[in-house]
Chains A and B, each alone.
Chain A
């Protein structure tokens, strides 16, 4: 009952703020459109590859995995984006790569979100020694360059999708922990937390039911902004050969093989690079708008 009340109480201004922000913000709308396109493409790829064995894309464009003798073709009527070193259609591969980007990007941000929010909430709520120890640990994570740390994890524990998600999740976690912690520091002094305490609720219950739901909006803002960075990080790992491995199609891998053939066929690197760039850009645009709608104070608090 109390949960329902708190949700309905803040849901209204929430939706209103966002719709107002987006109505006046054309770049953000453009970003939103690109994100819809990306998700649409990722869903299409998932359906196509699991139920139709790549039949749909093969009839519409070309089979992203089929090798042909037409290697290194520039863009043409048959191959809008050209072909790669094995004669595979780049457009089809860019579309297929969206699935990896979405899955890895979202799940790694999900990882940072869950652990960052928990660590931040616990540190902020308990304060004192717990806070000190947890935040020093976050600081340790923060003080190694993100890419170096992610590479370190993937290189040591093996290059596969799970490890990439965990590695990128860990390097983006400190942002969540810090933001939530500072929110919780003020929330825990509010009346409803005191009331919950006076009622004799357990600390874990207070954190999960009362503190985190009230601090979650700022974590959502950080999450939207982090998806862009996470996709860049994932692409960087793939580019260095420490990300997802072939035959999984990923933009970072495509870019990396495009780099080797740069002077033969620049398009090979150009289109996947453009896809990564546009994806990151649209999440930045939308993230900015969401942040401005939620909390204008956050405007200058740019982390990483």
Chain B
């Protein structure tokens, strides 16, 4: 039942994916300038340019290029990067663990900080601790990621010399060292998510605590701890999961800037390079990667919803 549901959802999101692939293709073709000329520079001979255009299929009519492109994607061939001279799929796959570990660390950081803080703040409404939590969440939401990154680099990395300020160590090679390298990037990346999660957790907890079944549980003489953790939390978590799911794509987008600042060779930095170099196959590959991860996150949110709230039926 559950796998069937997931497969159904996957089929539902396929049109969106196709839309994104088409959008990326159309926009790149609308763009002024020619990627081969940009890549080869002004000194390249006309024959070389012609040859390369032919090699990458840029000399064909646009609709043929589009059909070719779709055909190749359908069999998992994303083309060859112009600037790296390697298959796009391999480049992305090689960098995927880097970006994923960054994104998961910052997701972990924001959730671990924000959920308890949000609950605490809801339970201490209008006390000083509540105001402090709300102030922190306001800062998290308002501060630009790159500013957090710069402040952290200066204070913790340069002034106090506690944490490394650039580079990446694969977690599989050295977990402790790798984690140390990920702390500053993950905190800078996850600040906004932390802020949003805190305020949504707080407000949804407050809302749930006003519900009748909570009053009933209290009237029944259950301990406040049990009421909050066993009865209220489950329902209060649903909007929080929604916001985390929505913010997931912001994390991916933010990874572009954070990876650039911290010198992490992940997909964010790859995106930036691909755009600078006008590497069409690579740009298209990266766009597909983003939308794929986003849609995956949508499905994960749906499944989490169903796990937390058994009333939700799979259709």
> A residues near B, CB below 8 A?
27, 136-137, 139-140, 142-149, 151-153, 155-158, 228, 232, 235-236, 239-240, 242, 255, 258-259, 262-263, 266, 269-270, 273-274, 276-277, 280-281, 284-285, 299-300, 302-304
Contact = CB atoms under 8 A, between A and B. Distances in A.
A262 B153 contact: yes
B151 interface: yes
A266 B154 contact: yes
A242 to B, nearest CB: 8
A143 B249 contact: yes
Given A148-B271, A148-B287, A232-B144, 14 more contacts: A139-B16, A145-B253, A151-B272, A152-B275, A152-B287, A236-B146, A262-B154, A269-B147, A270-B151, A273-B146, A276-B144, A277-B139, A280-B141, A300-B203
B252 A145 contact: yes
A144 B290 CA distance: 6
Nearest to B17: A143
Contact of B19 (A137, A149, A153): A137
A266 B250 CA distance: 28
Nearest to B257: A236
13 contacts: A139-B19, A144-B294, A145-B294, A152-B275, A155-B278, A156-B27, A255-B147, A259-B261, A269-B150, A277-B142, A300-B204, A303-B246, A304-B250
A140 B138 CA distance: 29
A277 B149 CA distance: 13
Contacts of B290: 143-145, 148
A285 B272 CA distance: 32
Q: Is the interface of A mostly helix, strand, loop or mixed?
A: helix
Nearest to A269: B150
Interface in B268-292: 271-272, 275-276, 278, 283, 286-287, 290-291
Interface centre among B147, B151, B252, B260 (most CB of A within 10 A): B147
Interface of B: 15-16, 19-20, 23-24, 27-28, 30-32, 138-139, 141-147, 150-151, 153-154, 158, 196, 199-200, 203-204, 207, 239, 243, 246-247, 249-254, 256-257, 260-261, 271-272, 275-276, 278, 283, 286-287, 290-291, 294-295, 298
Nearest to A145: B253
Nearest to A228: B142
Contacts of B15: 136
Given A136-B19, A147-B254, A151-B272, A273 B144 contact: yes
B108 to A, nearest CB: 19
B27 A152 contact: yes
Q: Is the interface of B mostly helix, strand, loop or mixed?
A: helix
B247 A284 contact: no
A156 B31 contact: yes
A233 to B, nearest CB: 9
Contacts of B286: 148
B144 A280 contact: yes
Given A140-B19, A143-B295, A284-B141, A255 B256 contact: no
Contact of A285 (B138, B196, B204): B138
Contact of A277 (B24, B147, B158, B252): B147
B254 to A, nearest CB: 6
B246 A157 contact: no
A145 B193 CA distance: 14
Contact of B272 (A228, A240, A277, A303): A240
A148 B253 contact: yes
A299 B141 CA distance: 15
A155 B19 contact: no
Contacts of A280: 141-144
Nearest to A263: B158
